[in-house]
Amino acid sequence: MKNILITGGAGFIGSNFIHRLIKEKPEVKLVNLDALTYAGNLDNLKSLEGNDHYTFIKGDIGNQALVESLLLKHEIDTIVNFAAETHVDRSILGPIQFLNTNVVGTGCLLEAARKTWRGRGSDSVRFHHISTDEVFGSLAPNDPPFSESSQYSPNSPYSASKAASDHLVRAYYHTYGLPITISNCTNNYGPYQFPEKLIPLMIMNCLKGKPLPVYGDGRQIRDWLYVEDHCEAIQLILEKGRVGETYLIGGENQPTNLEIIHQITAILDEIVPNSPFRPHANLIQYVQDRPGHDRRYAMDISKIRGEFGWSPTYTLQRGLRATIEWYLSHQDWIKALVEKEEFGSWMKNNYANRGDAK
């Protein structure tokens, strides 16, 4: 792991991972390939400008010729594929982009790696693919958590596209011997997350006194993983993971979406005591649920804990507080994103016609 290509590194998890590697592995050279779609933001990596061990390339993982040239030019031995369309709501309104990026794009990336690394052993190169728990579908209240052997059962265009990409990555291992690992993570949160997602959206709306939209009854259950813990787990998989294996990464908590929102409003009531919108819980508004909304996710992380001794270090309360404090201290970062025309039109299209759920 000397020269790493990180795809989608200007996004939320990718940029956090780059910051971690720059700190933990300063001798490693990083190449960040990102198409800079709406969620890619170079401001996430502004502090790395001028760093000799970091290179940014604007480009699409679907451009196989470009990827091959980067692998050769920078003598890449490790690929970490974060590049993906990730928002379920957007996949419902526009599924084709998800197929293009998550399926075709991943296929081009795999093919470039196969051609460029042909003949190299598993001890010298690695292709790591970042995936999601959503590929496994939805759990009933008393079902055991997902494990690495769980059956795939995706329920949205987003999760179906990620499931397809997982299958492609695994197929390149079994068919061509490409040294791969896969990780499936739960819902991430933390610094630099684009404010269309639940936690940053709730924080942002609280600060502006806007409604806090809750889908359906708000009792959908997710496992929340602080992004710093996720990045540590990915690094361990790159360093110690067994080729061809899948590892589940989770935060070991299962609150409902409504409980998450109440925790956010309570923390904001405490640390922003002069807010004219206190108590912020009064801003909660139930809206029509989205189609095919999975009710529950949960992850069994015993494999990664047993092999590497990894477990999440952030409790949900600690992680939420750290996240809220980060967003409060980065108002200019938020302002630059939400003032973009694309963000405003997206929010209007997604929420304007949902109406009250109760």
- Structural domain range at position 90: 3-186+224-252+296-312
174 is a domain residue: yes
Amino acid in the structure at residue 239:
E
Q: Tell me the pTM.
A: 0.94
Whether residue 110 sits in one domain with residue 13: yes
Q: Which of these is catalytic: 60, 85, 133, 232?
A: 133
Q: Which of these is catalytic: 34, 134, 229, 252?
A: 134
Whether residue 213 sits in one domain with residue 65: no
Residue-wise pLDDT tens digits, 322-356: 999 999 999 999 888 877 767 778 777 777 666 55
60 is a domain residue: yes
Whether residue 203 sits in one domain with residue 78: no
pLDDT of residue 291: 86
Residue-wise pLDDT tens digits, 194-236: 988 999 999 999 999 999 999 999 999 999 999 999 999 999 9
Number of domains observed in the structure of the chain: 2
333 is a domain residue: yes
For the domain that residue 195 is a member of, what is the CATH number?
A: 3.90.25.10
330 is a domain residue: yes
Residue-wise pLDDT tens digits, 100-150: 999 999 999 999 999 999 988 778 999 999 999 999 999 999 999 999 999
Q: Which of these is catalytic: 54, 158, 173, 189?
A: 158
348 is a domain residue: no
Whether residue 153 sits in one domain with residue 44: yes
* % of the chain with per-residue pLDDT over 70: 97
Whether residue 72 sits in one domain with residue 103: yes
Residue-wise pLDDT tens digits, 247-262: 999 999 999 999 999 9
352 is a domain residue: no
In terms of Cα–Cα distance, which of 83, 108, 103 is closest to 160? 103
- Please, which pLDDT band fits residue 10 given cuts at 50, 70 and 90? very high
358 is a domain residue: no
243, two tokens: 């080729």
Whether residue 265 sits in one domain with residue 176: no
133 in catalytic set: yes
Whether residue 15 sits in one domain with residue 152: yes
Residue-wise pLDDT tens digits, 164-183: 999 999 999 999 999 999 99
Neighbours of 329 (CB within 10 A): 10
pLDDT at 358 over 60: no
d(CA 202, CA 280): 10
Whether residue 241 sits in one domain with residue 155: yes
